[in-house]
A and B are shown apart, each in its own frame.
Chain A
Amino acid sequence: MTDLNRALVDIRNIRRQVAQTTEFRGYGPLTLSATAVLALLAGIVQYEWIPEPANYPVQYVALWLTTAVLCAALIATQMLTRARRLHSGMADEMIRAAVAQFLPAGIAGAILPFVLLHVTRDVFWMLPGLWQIIFALGVFASCRCLPRPMLLVGAWFLLTGLACIALGDVRALAPATMSGAYAIGMTLVAAIHHLSAQKASTDEEQEL
């Protein structure tokens, strides 16, 4: 490796280090609010079309996985443009870090229903609770680069997930368990990001 290549690696390392300690502002409050609305809509769809999810687990999984994919696509699309605008030179590093922090939870959440469907259908009712617990772990993993109050969101999903499991039977598959938890949780996420962005702009104005 030449000295120049080494210098490039050093610069990249500095940027990575800075990215790791910078608050990620790539999540847009409006998009996050839209995901809360999508969760509510999915709850209504479940209420109307899948009244007995225990008897139609495939449809239940399809509904919520589709909602999750839609939400992820919305968030990802906005994240790419917003992070480039707000983090300019560090955007790629920050997006990579944000994705890497949440990805394990996302993958676990995507694989879990297939395992429950094909291996242990008796405990399929645990799916919403486990999804929320996994989501909570993803939020906790991402907290390092997010506003501190985001810990509350992690705690919220952890509590709702545990509450779902505490129900102990198919009641956990009711529309309200998923749509309620995600609608409130994502609204909270949106509010925290909105307040954080407001605080950042106020701080910047005060500096000038």
Chain B
Amino acid sequence: MKNKNSRSTAPFAYEGLDRVIHERARLSVLTSLMTHPDGLSFVELKQLCALTDGNLARHLQVLEEDKMIHITKEEDRGRVQTTVRITASGRKRYLEYLATLEQVVRDAASVIEASEDGRISRKLSPVNA
């Protein structure tokens, strides 16, 4: 209800554009995790998102503090394996973000379409001699 009201009074407020997700690296980390529900290792995430160790660790920390991901460390053949999984709330927030992002693009497309239609109709309107 609140969203509907805010949308009608401030249609371009886009409150669903979550600041934590709305960052390129974190968006790619979350998208990778969304498409791998069983989780990804730190190395796999690094490769999928083209991030450095330090950069990825920093973004994972932000996401973990916000309870969007869950990080587990397990020992496998003497080596510590870090696995990252998206949480249920992270999943929910990502989908809400995606829906808002889609709305942003749709709104922009409709504004452009309307302005183009206006231009065409102006061109087609009869000129008073």
A residues whose Cβ falls under 8 Å from a Cβ of B: 2, 4-5, 7-8, 11-12, 14-15, 17-18, 21-23, 88-90, 200, 203-204, 207-208
Contact = CB atoms under 8 A, between A and B. Distances in A.
B80 interface: no
A204 B112 contact: no
B101 interface: yes
A89 B35 contact: no
Contacts of A208: 89
Nearest to A23: B37
B70 to A, nearest CB: 7
A17 B98 contact: no
B37 A22 contact: yes
A14 B109 contact: no
B95 interface: yes
A18 to B, nearest CB: 5
A80 to B, nearest CB: 18
Nearest to A203: B88
A90 B112 CA distance: 27
B105 A89 contact: no
A17 B35 CA distance: 6
Contacts of B95: 18, 88-90
B34 A2 contact: no
B23 interface: no
B15 interface: no
A163 B5 CA distance: 61
A7 to B, nearest CB: 5
A23 B88 CA distance: 12
B89 A21 contact: no
B35 A8 contact: no
A158 to B, nearest CB: 26
B67 interface: yes
Interface in B64-102: 67, 70, 87-89, 92, 95-96, 98-99, 101-102
Interface in B31-83: 31, 34-37, 67, 70
Nearest to B111: A4
Contact of A2 (B36, B70, B109): B109
Given A8-B106, A8-B109, A207-B70, A89 B98 contact: yes
